[in-house]
Amino acid sequence: MLKKYFMFFILIAVSFVLAVALKPVFHKKNSRLYWFIPDGMRADPGIFNVFQWADEGLLPNIKKMMSRGTYGFCKPVYPGHTPVNFATLFTGSYPEVHKVSDGPMHEEGKPLSSVAVGGFSSVAKKVDPIWLTLENGGARVGLLSIPGSTPPELKNGYTMVGRWGGWGASFHAVNFEEKGSGERQFNLGSSKRLFFFGPPLLIFAESSETEDYPGELKTFSAVRRAGLSAWGATVSGCIYDSTDDGTVNYDRMAFSTDGKTVSVDLKQGQWSEWLPIKLLWHDKKTDTSAEIDTVFKIKVTKLDGKGFFAVRFYYNAMNETLTDPGYIASDMIENVGPMVDFVDNFPPQLIYYPEDRNTFLEEADMSFDWHTRACSYFIDTYRPDVFIHDIYTPNQMLTSRWWMGYIDPDSPFYNEVGDKERDRLWAEVKDMYRKLDRIIGVYLKKARKNDVVVLSSDHGAAPLHTWVHVNNLFASKGWLKCRQDRESGEYIIDWEKSKAVYLKFGHVYVNPAGLHNSEGRWERGSGPEYIRFREEVAESVRNLRDSRNAAPLAKICSWEDAEKEFRLPHERSGDLLISNVPGYGWSETMTPDRILFSRPLKTGYKQAIICENSPCMWTPFIIVGPDIKQDNFLKDDLLSMTDQYPTIMKALGRECPGFVQGKVIRKAFLKEDN
């Protein structure tokens, strides 16, 4: 009997030892990787010299990374857009290999009227991203807010809120404002909607006097009530006058989620706490829906004495449909709080009223607070071998209306503010960098001796002073046939009769026989007439001059040279590829007056700029690890985005897959020859 128990004990012991011994070993040195990649974190040797700021004491954790590691400035690949450069960072290859040539991508045989492949989707990449390669090597990987990470690809890791992969129920923040005359609604056209034509980001609501309002409101003027409806939920907003001064001067707005009791009562400038709400996640195509229980915050951005209001609803950005596995969402929300992923929307909404600026800064702070807590909690709780983390807020700030145009002397708007105001704007921008530094502090604190910590970004940001309305040019030449819908203001293109169109961010599609065939699909043109017409279109773009007689075009080539000139995949490129000089931005937007140039409301931009000679587009790269040289500034080398992947893999002691085009930054290592 004892012998039997002994044998059983031996079996259990052997199984345990085998289980431990055979667990896939991530790395011989057992190094973990913490890779923080803030979106749009500009760093250059000029006015955004983050390494100098760190030396001056502004960024103590970046300073620690510099002292403990190797660092330098890095140039993004073309176009300097998020999905392209994230794909490059995660594959160590150029777009010609990973095939993410842009955000919206078009392919031959598909209609140009819709996007064939979305660059933010994980399936857009044609080669494996680093998270899969490392997971296949035994690593437990966590991804937070990483563009291109959803639909999830990790099989044994944690994918949390991959930005814009079309996966899960995302409820973007919505602004509401008093409808008024409707003039503003007409002028805004489609830019009041998410991604222009999605669910509205700005909803005009009509208020009217009412006797029906919660009894606890003490008002000295007639209450005005407006129904604020978004994502299938209606919140009642009651504008009232709390001052007994004999005049109508509205000063408070009470909100009710059940229409009877006051959920929160706010004055201008105040935020509510998180409030419960049930939202509807609805698929129009199949008319199916699911209710999502979540929470939201209300900010009264503007409320004037006459009752004009502008309010913002910010919805928790995390729920179980946005994480894999789903239970991570409830765990993170319970222990970190509802998610404020990033500030503002696309297109930006916090750019219209001066009060929007404060809302922007407050929301940005909330996003930094959330991300700081989130990375700390996640690492402590889930102990990933690899954690890759992005926050989109820096991009939002540097491309918003309020900052870049007035702090970068390359902007023609630079002198529109005085030095005192500029100092204040710089203080706000540097405060944003301080908050990034605080997140880096979390990683440094969590990292053990052999761990690898990396700071990167996908692109910088340039001042923007002029939109170039390429499609207005083509329409005025008769190459783009369209009409404007009177009600919606949207342009309806006659694709079969059109011969040239510009589509974001750097592509012109040309076909003298019509952009769509009889089946409604785009076919690449060929033959002498195609070549002649393509050259005519190219010449028209080359000849563009603004009021200062400056040309917005930096470089143009035809699709046959896409790989050679831009390292872009020709099969996901337009007939002509066009890049712009910093300061300009190509715009698809068409206007009835066919103007070619206009002043944007936002003052920062990054997309179709060639980065090599544009320091405003550069980013930081700092790597800290066991074999990495310390206090090693590669000041004479402009690093390449493709080289980060192989350098990180070498620091982890891992081999690179065959598709990787980048080279190890050998100067970063203590033994350069290894």
Q: Which residues bind other proteins (CB under 8 A)?
A: 15, 18-19, 22, 81-82, 103-104, 106-107, 110-118, 120-123, 128, 132, 151-153, 155-156, 163-169, 190, 194-198, 281, 283-286, 288-290, 292, 320-321, 325-327, 346, 471, 491, 493, 501, 503-505, 587-590, 607
> In the complex, what is the shortest distance from the CB of residue 292 to other proteins, in angstroms, rounded to a whole number?
8
3-state secondary structure of 377: helix
> In the complex, what is the shortest distance from the CB of residue 588 to other proteins, in angstroms, rounded to a whole number?
4
> In the complex, what is the shortest distance from the CB of residue 340 to other proteins, in angstroms, rounded to a whole number?
19
Question: Terminal CA-to-CA distance of the chain, rounded, Å?
Answer: 58
* Strands (E) located in 304-436: 309-315, 323-324, 386-389
Report the residue number, 455 or 541, with the smaller CB distance to other proteins.
Answer: 541
> In the complex, what is the shortest distance from the CB of residue 191 to other proteins, in angstroms, rounded to a whole number?
9
Which tokens sit at 49?
A: 């010299």
Which among 433, 350, 334 has a CA at the least distance from the CA of 391? 433
Which among 234, 271, 275, 604 has a CA at the least distance from the CA of 410? 604
Q: What are phi and psi of 571, to 5 degrees?
A: -70, -15
Concatenate the DSSP letters of all residues of 362-373 into one string.
Answer: HHHHHHHHHHHH
> In the complex, what is the shortest distance from the CB of residue 197 to other proteins, in angstroms, rounded to a whole number?
5
Residue 226's H or E segment, with its range, is: strand 224-230
Q: What angle do CA 7, 12, 13 make, to 5 degrees?
A: 95
Report the residue number, 81 or 224, with the smaller CB distance to other proteins.
Answer: 81
Report the residue number, 113 or 517, with the smaller CB distance to other proteins.
Answer: 113
Report the residue number, 124 or 454, with the smaller CB distance to other proteins.
Answer: 124
* Strands (E) located in 525-651: 553-558, 576-580, 584-587, 597-598, 604-605, 619-624, 632-633, 639-640
Report the residue number, 346 or 426, with the smaller CB distance to other proteins.
Answer: 346
Report the residue number, 42 or 504, with the smaller CB distance to other proteins.
Answer: 504
SS3 track for 331-352: HHHHHHCCCCCCCCCCCCCCCC
> In the complex, what is the shortest distance from the CB of residue 616 to other proteins, in angstroms, rounded to a whole number?
19
Report the residue number, 112 or 300, with the smaller CB distance to other proteins.
Answer: 112
> In the complex, what is the shortest distance from the CB of residue 416 to other proteins, in angstroms, rounded to a whole number?
27
> In the complex, what is the shortest distance from the CB of residue 133 to other proteins, in angstroms, rounded to a whole number?
11
Report the residue number, 92 or 168, with the smaller CB distance to other proteins.
Answer: 168
> In the complex, what is the shortest distance from the CB of residue 203 to other proteins, in angstroms, rounded to a whole number?
17
Which among 512, 516, 485, 560 has a CA at the least distance from the CA of 114? 516
Report the residue number, 503 or 652, with the smaller CB distance to other proteins.
Answer: 503
CA distance 151 to 262: 39
Q: Are 496 and 512 in contact (CB under 8 A)?
A: no
> In the complex, what is the shortest distance from the CB of residue 193 to other proteins, in angstroms, rounded to a whole number?
9
Report the residue number, 323 or 642, with the smaller CB distance to other proteins.
Answer: 323
Which among 649, 609, 647 has a CA at the least distance from the CA of 84? 609
Q: Are 228 and 272 in contact (CB under 8 A)?
A: no
CA distance 526 to 451: 54
Residue with tokens 């003490």: 218
